[in-house]
Amino acid sequence: MNKIKMEKDFENFYQNEYYNTIEKYYDILKKKKKSILLFRVVIGIIISLIYTYFIMIFKFKSNLNNYYIMINIIFYLVLSVMIIISIYKSLKIEMEKINEYVIKDILAFISDNDLNNVIYEPKKKVSKESFDKMELFDLNIVKYNGKNYIKVPYNKNNMVFSDMHTYTYSIKETKKEIYKNGKKYIRTTKKKTKNTIFKGLYIGATLNKKNTNHIYLIPNNFNDTIIQSKIMKYIKFHGVSVMLENLDFSKRYKVFCNDEVQARYILSLSLMEKINEIDKLFPEKKYIVFKEGKRFAICIENTTIEDIKNIKLPIIRNEIKEINKLIRVFEQLNNLFKIYHILDLGKL
């Protein structure tokens, strides 16, 4: 069974193995840097030659007199700034690619997998079929998109991660009185507005044992009273509302299930304490699903793989900054796997 990794484990992995892998990434970046710089310099020279040609053809030097030198300075200054910005953006794109490699490498380390077994598709999202099977958001009402799809074998099963945004559209009508040729008209305009229901990270896991009950925990701590009153409209599963003796827990979650007696048995004080531990690790609002069968899912608001991907390594290699950045990436990815261990999903 996979054991949760510690920061010391990652530091040892970095010193013994991963340092050399990062060095290879920077060697690739060096070659990219040369081609990026060369291409921009050539473009800069071509633009300068075209500029000089037009100066000569239209005799700007004699026509502009004292302004000629100032215009030249401004032109080359603007051109230089544009080239520097273009180089920076290109290098940033290359660093994003390296960060994608880093995420996949660290996922393989955390899960004790070969790289080939870890799937990371930055432009892909969880399939509609898989998401719909969790019966969380009603996809007949709610639309969704996402990216950074990850699938990792873990404890002989799979863990899936994906950034997700669920939303609805509403049409707002506004009426305005206008007068034309002495007559009054009412002009109606319609504006389409996107209303976010959830934006964050989807985590799905397969369990080792079959669960015999549906249990859904919906956030009960919305600041927006409108969302609070309408949230059940967007939830696909409508079971029995369970009133728990733990009032503090009830303040944070609404609990629904298809068998109240069984739900009270499964959602024991022990399990509630485990969910409290997850709340400490991820204090943001969460939707938690224990699905009948072997499926589990949790949606954590304001937490994304994209945020982790944005922890970029320095463009110029600096070992102190490098290890600090890598530890941050490791910690944030490792926290996602801690959910599996906190809830003891391997035994559910």
Instruction: Break the chain into its structural domains and give their ranges.
Output: 7-98, 118-170+196-310
* Closest-CA residue to 200 (of 117, 335, 303): 303
Give the angle subtended at the CA of 308 by the CAs of 304 and 314, to the nearest 5°. Answer: 155
CA torsion angle 119 9 202 343 (round to 10): 130
In the chain, % helix, strand, coil (3-state, to 5) comes to 50, 30, 20
Give the angle subtended at the CA of 102 by the CAs of 97 and 105, to the nearest 5°. Answer: 130
What six digits make up the tokens of 120?
């990371």
The per-residue pLDDT for 298 is: 92
* pLDDT digit string, tens, across residues 262-282: 667 767 777 888 888 999 999
Range in 62-66, 162-166, 212-216 with the lowest mean pLDDT:
62-66
- CB count within 10 Å of CB 235 equals 20
The per-residue pLDDT for 141 is: 87
Q: How far, in Å, CA of 132 to CA of 71, rounded?
A: 62
DSSP 8-class letter at 125: -
Please say whether the beta carbons of 256 and 240 come within 8 A: yes
Distances (CA, A) of 348 to 35, 290, 294: 53, 10, 9
Q: Name the pLDDT band for 223 (thresholds 50, 70, 90).
A: low
What six digits make up the tokens of 24?
């290879």
The per-residue pLDDT for 137 is: 86
Which of the pair, 248 or 125, is modelled with greater confidence? 125
Could you tell me what percent of the chain has a pLDDT over 90?
A: 36
DSSP 8-class letter at 316: S
Q: How far, in Å, CA of 167 to CA of 213, rounded?
A: 28
Burial class of residue 130 in the structure, from the number of CB atoms within 10 Å of its CB (0-12 exposed, 13-18 middle, 19+ buried): middle
* pLDDT digit string, tens, across residues 11-22: 999 999 999 999
Q: Name the pLDDT band for 226 (thresholds 50, 70, 90).
A: very low
Q: Name the pLDDT band for 206 (thresholds 50, 70, 90).
A: confident
Please report the DSSP string for 135-174 in residue order.
T-B-TTT-EEEEEEEEEEEETTEEEEEEEEEEEEEEEEEE
For 211-222, b where at least 16 C-beta lie within 10 A, e where not — what string?
bebbbbbbbeee
By three-state DSSP, how is residue 212 classified?
A: coil
* pLDDT digit string, tens, across residues 94-148: 888 899 999 999 999 999 999 999 999 999 999 988 888 888 888 888 899 999 9
